[in-house]
């Protein structure tokens, strides 16, 4: 059975609780037309919201997949 749910991700730069900025790159990348701008040596809080609420096992699997995707994108030459 397929479940449908929505994930909202809020990224806040610490220690000043500032939002993270993005820029529009157009067709520069295949998967998205926007890129998020992170600063080196900065700390960020990631806040995930799931609607409707999900079982912890499902959440962990989704977060692992997101982490894996981000690492693959960062390491892709």
Q: What is the dihedral of CA 57, 70, 51, 12, to 10 degrees?
A: 120
Q: What per-residue confidence (pLDDT) applies to 2?
A: 66
Contact 39, 51 (CB under 8 A): no
Q: What per-residue confidence (pLDDT) applies to 12?
A: 87
Q: How do the pLDDT tens digits run along the chain, 77 residues long?
A: 667 888 888 888 888 888 788 888 877 777 778 888 888 888 888 888 888 887 777 777 777 888 788 777 777 65
Q: What per-residue confidence (pLDDT) applies to 77?
A: 53
Could you tell me the residue ranges of all domains in the chain?
Answer: 6-75
Q: What per-residue confidence (pLDDT) applies to 69?
A: 81
């Amino acid at each position: 059975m397929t479940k449908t749910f929505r994930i909202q991700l809020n990224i806040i730069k610490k220690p000043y609780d500032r939002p993270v900025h993005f820029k529009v790159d157009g067709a520069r990348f295949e998967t998205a037309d926007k890129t998020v701008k992170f600063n080196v040596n900065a700390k960020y809080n990631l806040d995930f919201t799931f609607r409707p609420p999900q079982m912890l096992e499902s959440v962990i699997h989704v977060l692992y997949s997101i982490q894996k995707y981000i690492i693959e994108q960062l390491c892709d030459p």
